[in-house]
Structure 1
Amino acid sequence: MTALLRYLARIGLCLVAMAGFAAAKENYRFPAVGQESAVLTIHASADISAIEPMIRDFQQAEPGITVDFTDYLTNELYDLLSAQCAGGEKMADIVISSSVDHIAKLANDGCAQAYDSPNTNRIPDWAKWRNEVFGFTFEPAVIVYNRNLVPAADIPRTHHDLAELLRAKSELYDGKIGTYDIERSGIGYLFAFFDTQQSNIFGRLLESFGRSRATLRCCTGELLSRIESGELLIGYNLIGSYAYGRYKAGAPIGIVMPRDYTLVLSRTAMIPAKAGRTDLGRKFLDYLLSSRGQSVAVEKSFFFSFDRPVPEGVDAVDPGAGSGVYRPIMIGPALLATLDQQNRQRFLAEWKASMERD
Structure 2
Amino acid sequence: MTRRCHSLLAVIFLATMASLAAAKENYRFPAVGQETGVLTIHAVADLSAIEPMIRDFQESQPGITVDYTDYLTNELYDLLVAQCAKGETMADIVISSSVDHIAKLANDGCAQTYSSLNTSRTPDWAKWRDEVFGFTFEPAVIVYNRNLVPAADVPRTHHDLAELLRTKPQLYDGKIGTYDIEQSGIGYLFAFFDTQQSNIFGRLLESFGRSRAALRCCTGELLARIESGELLIGYNLLSSYAYGRYKAGAPIGIVMPRDYTLVLSRTAMIPKTAGHPDLGRKFLDYAVSSRGQAVAAEKSFFFSFDRPVPPGVDAVDPGTGSGVYRPIVIGPALLSTLDRQNRRRFLSEWKASMERD
TM-score normalised by L of structure 2: 0.95
Matching residue's letter, 1:289: V
Any idea what SS the aligned residue of 2:43 has?
A: strand
Go from structure 1 to structure 2 and tell me whether the alpha carbon gap of 1:5 and 1:37 turns closer, same or farther (over 3 Å shift). farther
Q: CA deviation at 1:355?
A: 1.1
Q: CA deviation at 1:357?
A: 3.2
Matching residue's letter, 1:357: R
Residue 36, structure 1, aligned to residue 35, structure 2: yes
**Partner deviation per Cα, 1:112-156 (whole Å, 9 max, x = no partner):** 000000000011000000000000000000000000000000000
Q: Residue 178 of structure 1 aligns with which residue?
A: 177
Distance 1:331 1:168 in 2: 38
Q: Residue 122 of structure 1 aligns with which residue?
A: 121
Q: Residue 222 of structure 1 aligns with which residue?
A: 221
Go from structure 1 to structure 2 and tell me whether the alpha carbon gap of 1:221 and 1:5 turns closer, same or farther (over 3 Å shift). farther
Q: Which moved more, 1:201-210 or 1:348-357?
A: 348-357
Q: How many residues align?
A: 349
**Partner deviation per Cα, 1:265-322 (whole Å, 9 max, x = no partner):** 1000000000000100000000000000000000000000000000000000000001
**Partner deviation per Cα, 1:58-105 (whole Å, 9 max, x = no partner):** 001111100000010000000000000000000000000000000000
Distance 2:11 2:149 in 1: 40
Q: Residue 208 of structure 1 aligns with which residue?
A: 207
Percent same amino acid at aligned positions? 85
Q: CA deviation at 1:239?
A: 0.2
Matching residue's letter, 1:15: L
Distance 1:128 1:37 in 2: 30
Distance 1:14 1:168 in 2: 40
Matches within 5 A, 1:43-122: 43-122=42-121
TM-score normalised by L of structure 1: 0.95
Distance 2:350 2:54 in 1: 38
Residue 340, structure 1, aligned to residue 339, structure 2: yes
Distance 1:240 1:26 in 2: 22
Q: CA deviation at 1:261?
A: 0.1
Go from structure 1 to structure 2 and tell me whether the alpha carbon gap of 1:288 and 1:343 turns closer, same or farther (over 3 Å shift). same
**Partner deviation per Cα, 1:174-212 (whole Å, 9 max, x = no partner):** 000000000000000000000000000000000000000
Distance 1:80 1:223 in 2: 25
Residue 318, structure 1, aligned to residue 317, structure 2: yes
Q: CA deviation at 1:354?
A: 1.1
Distance 1:98 1:47 in 2: 11
Q: Residue 190 of structure 2 aligns with which residue?
A: 191
Q: Residue 20 of structure 2 aligns with which residue?
A: 15
Any idea what SS the aligned residue of 2:34 has?
A: coil
Distance 1:293 1:4 in 2: 44
Distance 2:227 2:345 in 1: 34
Go from structure 1 to structure 2 and tell me whether the alpha carbon gap of 1:7 and 1:252 turns closer, same or farther (over 3 Å shift). farther
Q: Displaced runs of 4+ in structure 1, greater than 3 A?
A: 1-9, 13-16
Distance 2:193 2:291 in 1: 32
Distance 2:117 2:36 in 1: 26
* Structure 2 unmatched ranges of 5 or more: 1-7
Q: CA deviation at 1:24?
A: 2.0
Distance 1:181 1:119 in 2: 36
Any idea what SS the aligned residue of 1:49 has?
A: helix
- Counterpart contact for 1:14–1:26, Cα < 8 Å: no
Any idea what SS the aligned residue of 1:216 has?
A: strand
Distance 1:56 1:3 in 2: 40
Q: Residue 19 of structure 1 aligns with which residue?
A: none
Distance 2:356 2:114 in 1: 48
Q: CA deviation at 1:4?
A: 9.4
Distance 1:90 1:7 in 2: 28
Go from structure 1 to structure 2 and tell me whether the alpha carbon gap of 1:147 and 1:348 turns closer, same or farther (over 3 Å shift). same
Residue 270, structure 1, aligned to residue 275, structure 2: no
